[in-house]
Amino acid sequence: MSIVVTAATGALGRLVVEDLLERVPADQVAVVVRDEAKAADLAARGIEVRVADYDDRAALARAFEPGDRVLLISGNEIGRRVAQHTAVIDAAKAAGVAQLAYTGILGGPEADFELAAEHTTTEQAVLDSGLPYTFLRNGWYHENYTRDLPTVLGHGAVVGNAGEGRVASAARADYAAAAAVVLTGEGHLNRIYELSGDAAWSLGEYAAEVSALSGKEIAYAEVAADEHLRILTGAGVPEGFAAIIVDVDAAIERGRLAGTSGDLARLIGRPTTPVTEAIGAALA
């Protein structure tokens, strides 16, 4: 039996693996990756590397073993994820894994925006499989915003159509720690966790914090949805992805990413990382 992390060379997956190694020996951890070379450093640390692609059912059939505890990290190919996730679920069921944890989205079926639809369908597929599950419904990452700080600083503005809506974001490392907890601990089977930061903030407050920490005047430029779409596509963002960003902002305005259940802090045993800390680290 191993604790298995899929998509383990991605940004979230690597953080989960690092947290697992603080809790269990390396020979109890396995990773599923598309490119074995990218996991060479993990293999060198004693982690078993299993090569499989979410699109390759034959490879997935060899990716899991009876009794494994598996973390299915959602794919990043929007529009293709249901088929990919279903292939992983089918392989996990055939192997007889002991736990399938899945990284969904805050709110589950109540998340009424486009990006959430594939997560909702995947959760239902997990339930239909009959596998013991843990749903990790992740809220927004601080990094979704801090990665754009060079653009924000360059233009002197945070642009969005989220109005005064609030985001209860947390650090990617916080969500990774929660995943490690449910994979190594007991009492998490057939449980749903609504994971988010301890505090919610608006884009106006975010802009003010960037101003304070950078010493540069940063405004929140609230625009209509169609104008936001035009700005994003004009900056080179592919239209399909730009439409998702605009749709998420509209969901934020409706309060869909503002929930602060406290589940994340309880799982990791500490307060979640404040967005101020993430901004400061990114600026540094």
Q: For 133-269, where are the alpha helices, taking DSSP H only? A: 143-146, 149-155, 172-184, 203-214, 225-234, 239-253, 263-268
Q: CA–CA separation, 119 vs 237, rounded Å?
A: 23
Q: Using an 8 Å Cβ cutoff, are 273 and 183 in contact?
A: no
Non-local CB neighbours of 98 within 8 Å, separated by 6+ positions: 1, 67, 68, 69, 132
What is the pLDDT at residue 139? Answer: 97
Q: CA–CA separation, 51 vs 74, rounded Å?
A: 17
Per-residue pLDDT for the chain (284 aa), expressed as one digit of tens each? 799 999 999 999 999 999 999 999 999 999 999 999 999 999 999 999 999 999 999 999 999 999 999 999 999 899 999 999 999 999 999 999 999 999 999 999 999 999 999 999 999 999 999 999 999 999 999 999 999 999 999 999 999 999 999 999 999 999 999 999 999 999 999 999 999 999 999 999 999 999 999 999 999 999 999 999 999 999 999 999 999 999 999 999 999 999 999 999 999 999 999 999 999 999 99
Q: CA–CA separation, 51 vs 45, rounded Å?
A: 17
What is the pLDDT at residue 85? Answer: 98
Rg of the chain in Å (alpha carbons): 19
- Chain-centre distance of CA 90, in angstroms? 22
Q: Using an 8 Å Cβ cutoff, are 173 and 273 in contact?
A: yes
What is the pLDDT at residue 137? Answer: 98
* Among 121, 118, 61, 107, residue whose Cα is nearest residue 88: 61
Q: CA–CA separation, 195 vs 109, rounded Å?
A: 15
What is the pLDDT at residue 1? Answer: 78
Angle at 224 (CA atoms; ends 242, 157), nearest 5 degrees: 75
- What domains lie within the chain, and their CATH numbers? 3-138 (3.40.50.720), 140-170+195-259+273-284 (3.90.25.10)
